[in-house]
Structure 1
């Protein structure tokens, strides 16, 4: 098949970008003719992958998004792809994957004063992408997102699938990374007897860093909290840590290129998200043998079990969050727990999840061919 994968940004980091790279690689390895339609790109995940760069003139993020979607529509109408798979922010596709939840629900979770022109444009694009006749099938990475799609756009059940996210269990492996984790602990001055909590992610407010800091401040044990990831408001959270009296126990480390080392160093990963359609990081932590605390608003709750994770009801339930942190701190160094975490992650290894995605693509291709025959 001649397959086009569509996403404005092709990069080495980011959840959707990670999915794009792995799916493109998997399809190319199976002999499919793969093109990635994008505005910018880095090196491909397989040498046979081709890029189609569309860079219409635009000023500002909102216009860039809209004009890219228009350019994709023109290109696809003039091309001869057997199947077009959109990964968001465009409306011309046979299949569409919603990997970050719907824009509709994401905006509903934000105060109206924080909504920008870019958000309004994204909502318009999404509405066109989900309109009847605009797709054969829609894939989401959690039942949470699947419900949002049905609620917001009335996509019929027969045209929706849920395929959970994946993890590269070769990259995220505590045993392989043990030396690197020890070196990192030494570099950060972390005592081997001290429980280490990790918060890792971009977008501190949505992912609940304020609640993590408050709960951490209530712990009556000596522990360390590592904060990894970027946010334009980092200074505000550092000041909050100072006000809580935990400044000396918190390390704000910014964005890091080797998250696997931090997951392997940590004794517990804390993600008290206000809104998280899935969360690759939950699986990455588990693959490194690290138990997880998250919330009912995180789609990854669908794949975790109580023996490796705590799911609290809401982000602002600080008492429950503190209790969960104390519980997992008490399990520091538990080899059986680490093995259970790893075993769950192995069930969601990237190769097995790609098999499911490929089968879905083949099914949609058959639907498209059958529809052509009826014309």
Structure 2
């Protein structure tokens, strides 16, 4: 194809879902003569040969100053950058394509306010950092330069249409893809799952639910813990991911009486052993544009109990065998679904596994690669 793309990315962290998708896009297009020039605050991962990184790290203290300094640095680099077009995951009016991997910031704040304490709700509404981000988002969607938006779910496309009805850019839905075979639960994987349970002190026949993702507030870990307290007494919850306030969630588990059955494991580069150890994924996210963990869970053969504001779950949970959807704050709904999952016999579990794996087949890297190539070829 011979395309040189400037990509604006905030910062790379190996355990993040957006970062994993970005890396998979690089790998998927590596053989198609696509070159990337990445402008970012920080990149900590390995780089394929078709990717060059320019780190923009001006001195700043505090996230609002950091955001403003980063934007000014980006704008300076963009004036001299030699690329065919600029694609961004940061809201800037100077870009040709926006990839809305985080969904709509205004919608995220609206969902976040529902679960927040009054003081936090006020601060997030009037604090300078979020006002800046909302202003940037509005300016970008109003920009005449913006030609296309890559939405990773139909949910995000609808959110943009509702929040920014005057946006003239083309909204294209290209759902994320994963290496489906990488997560497949075969005999070897099942044994790894059994050993993982043993290492955590979980009985082989105990119901095990899994939360995966950093940023526990967004992922709805509080709802998951509260639901565990209403689920069968032998059930366990494994939480994989990082959060600066993990101690707070440990206290929540203690106050709910489930501290001994809630396992906080921190971030993991390889989450497959926990998928293979689990009976279902619990994902009560306040707002998740896609949620790559949904596709990974189904490729692992486990159903998903997720929020209605999770893009991938809304697309992939199509029948009771593949899971259930509830409002992110509906503790009773999540607990009921966990109870029903725990009561499934071996035949029902096998039926659910087959249904989940069948749905996951559509979310392959090959399909994502084909759709991206078609998009970039048409864009040129």
TM-score of the pair, normalised by structure 1 = 0.89
**Deviations 1:60-83 (CA, angstroms, capped at 9, x unpaired):** 322222222222223222233112
Q: How does 1:1-375 map to 2 (within 5 A)?
A: 1-109=3-111, 110=113, 111-114=121-124, 116-156=127-167, 159-175=170-186, 177-300=189-312, 301-331=314-344, 333=346, 334-365=349-380
CA–CA distance in structure 1, aligned partners of residues 301 and 44 of structure 2? 31
Shift of 1:294: 0.7
Q: Is the 8 A contact 1:128 1:134 kept in 2?
A: no
Residue 125 of structure 1: SS of its match in structure 2?
Answer: helix
Shift of 1:138: 0.9
What secondary structure is seen at the aligned counterpart in 2 of 1:99? coil
Distance, in Å, in 2 between the alignment partners of 1:11 and 1:236 is 23
C-alpha separation between the residues in 2 aligned to 1:80 and 1:206?
Answer: 37
Residues 168-217 of structure 1, C-alpha deviation per residue, up to 9 Å, x if partnerless?
22332222533332221121112111111112222223322222222221
Higher mean C-alpha displacement, 331-340 vs 185-194: 331-340
User: Could you give the per-residue CA deviations for residues 109-165 of structure 1, whole angstroms, max 9, x where no partner exists?
Assistant: 222324543322222322232223131111111222112212222255761111222
For the Cα contact (< 8 Å) 2:91–2:98, is it kept in 1?
Answer: no
Larger mean CA deviation between 196-205 and 174-183 belongs to: 174-183
Asked if the contact 2:153–2:290 (Cα under 8 Å) also holds between the matched residues in 1, the reply is yes
Query: Structure 2 CA distance, aligned partners of 1:322 and 1:65?
Result: 39
TM-score of the superposed pair, with normalisation by structure 2: 0.88
The answer for unaligned runs of 5 or more in structure 2 is: 114-120
Distance 1:267 1:157 in 2: 44
**1:283 Cα shift?**
0.9
Change (3 A) 1:21 1:332: farther
Secondary structure of 1:80 counterpart: coil
Contact 1:56 1:67 in 2 (8 A): yes
Q: Partner of 2:116 in structure 1? A: none
Give the deviation of 1:43 after TM superposition.
4.3
Cα deviation for residue 354 of structure 1 reads: 2.2
The alpha-carbon distance between structure 1 residues 12 and 227, as it changes in their structure 2 partners (threshold 3 A), is closer
Task: Give per-residue Cα distances to partners, 1:315-360, cap 9 Å, x unaligned.
Answer: 3333322221111112365233212212211210122112212211
Secondary structure of the corresponding residue to residue 39 of structure 2: strand
Ranges of 4+ aligned residues in structure 1 off by more than 6 Å: none
- In 1, distance between residues paired with 2:225 and 2:35? 48
Distance in structure 2 (CA, Å) of the matches to 1:88 and 1:177: 38
